């Protein structure tokens, strides 16, 4: 693995650990605030935080398992656990959205009384802590490149939106005595959570189904390989992801009989690394008289 990957991996673990501690503190604050103010909204948000605590804890465990060395039975090691954790996070997000929708519908029928002052103070503290957590992710974690970190970060964004919703609904109920503000905002937040949950789940399933990374073009790879000396044809190209930041490649090159195959292997491997960031490549070189005895895929 590259130094950059190792740097991201170490940074991601540190980010998750910091986030886990801060979320535990925030969850405790919201539980205490919810009890003292008799606020169901704060207690519901604390439940949201509890789900995030477990989700981020799962993501951290996934990174730890991912460090385990490859074995004869698991030749790529345990790196796919990161993707399984990302899928679990996505499913949790979908579950949270369903819970919020149900809770919002219940509040439309019977809007609860809220102790506004205490709710506003608690929600303000929660927003500050959530923004700190988001900042930790953005400055220390690989939010764009790692599905596992992306899933955890989306949980944090959901927390921020949910807490802002609590804050706004508290203000509306205090100043306008409009008790329907809480279920309306809860419904909006739930739809956002639902969208992000489906997106992260879809991306994780794509990796598990050996889908091609969106940033890599098979047509472009074929075009570049055909520019190499003595390469007559290419076929059976496959690109997939072992985990979110570890793409892999396999393919066949058809060459003429005078080709220096070791030199071609070196050039093709370097090309894939430099132009497509494919550091793990398996290339089969074939002469024009070679025929696939079984069906080539």
Residues sharing a CB contact under 8 Å with residue 139, sequence separation 6 or more, in sequence order:
none
Determine the Cα–Cα distance for residues 244 and 62; give it in Å rounded to an integer. 13
Could you list the pLDDT tens digit for every one of the 297 residues in the chain?
444 444 455 677 788 888 889 999 998 998 898 888 877 778 777 777 877 787 787 777 767 776 677 777 777 777 788 788 888 878 888 888 788 788 778 878 887 776 777 888 898 999 999 999 888 888 877 777 676 677 778 878 888 888 888 888 778 878 888 777 777 777 777 787 788 788 889 988 999 998 899 889 999 999 999 999 889 999 999 999 887 778 999 999 999 888 899 999 999 999 999 999 898 899 999 887 765 544 454
Give the DSSP per-residue string, 86-153.
Answer: HHHHHHHHHHHHHHHHHHHHHHHHSPPP--HHHHHHHHHHHHHHHHHHHHHHHHHS-TTT-HHHHHHH
pLDDT at position 9: 55
pLDDT at position 271: 94
pTM of the model: 0.71
* Residues facing residue 235 across a β-bridge: 252
pLDDT at position 145: 67
pLDDT at position 4: 46
pLDDT at position 222: 93
């Amino acid at each position: 693995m590259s130094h950059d990957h190792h740097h991201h991996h170490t940074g991601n673990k540190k980010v998750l650990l910091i986030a886990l501690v801060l979320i535990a503190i925030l969850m405790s604050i919201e539980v205490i605030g919810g009890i003292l103010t008799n606020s169901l909204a704060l207690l519901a948000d604390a439940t949201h935080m509890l789900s995030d605590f477990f989700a981020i804890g799962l993501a951290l465990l996934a990174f730890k398992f991912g460090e385990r060395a490859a074995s004869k039975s698991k030749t790529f090691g345990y790196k796919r656990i990161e993707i399984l954790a990302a899928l679990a996070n996505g499913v949790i997000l979908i579950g949270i959205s369903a819970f919020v929708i149900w809770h919002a519908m219940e509040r439309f029928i019977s809007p609860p009384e809220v102790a506004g002052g205490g709710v506003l103070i608690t929600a303000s503290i929660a927003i500050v802590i959530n923004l700190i957590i988001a900042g930790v992710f953005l400055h220390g974690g690989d939010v764009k490149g790692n599905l596992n970190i992306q899933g955890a970060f989306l949980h944090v964004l959901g927390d921020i939106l949910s807490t802002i919703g609590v804050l706004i609904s508290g203000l509306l109920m205090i100043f306008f005595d409009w008790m329907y503000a809480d279920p309306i905002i809860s419904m909006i937040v739930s739809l956002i959570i639902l969208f992000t949950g489906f997106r992260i789940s879809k991306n994780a399933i794509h990796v598990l189904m050996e889908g091609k990374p969106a940033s890599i073009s098979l047509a472009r790879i074929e075009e570049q390989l055909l520019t190499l000396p003595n390469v007559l044809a290419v076929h059976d190209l496959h690109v997939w992801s072992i985990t979110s930041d570890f793409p892999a490649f396999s393919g066949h090159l058809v060459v003429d009989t005078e080709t220096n195959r070791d030199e071609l292997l070196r050039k093709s491997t370097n090309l894939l690394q430099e132009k497509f960031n494919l550091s793990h490549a398996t290339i089969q070189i074939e002469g024009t008289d070679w025929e696939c005895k079984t069906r080539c895929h």
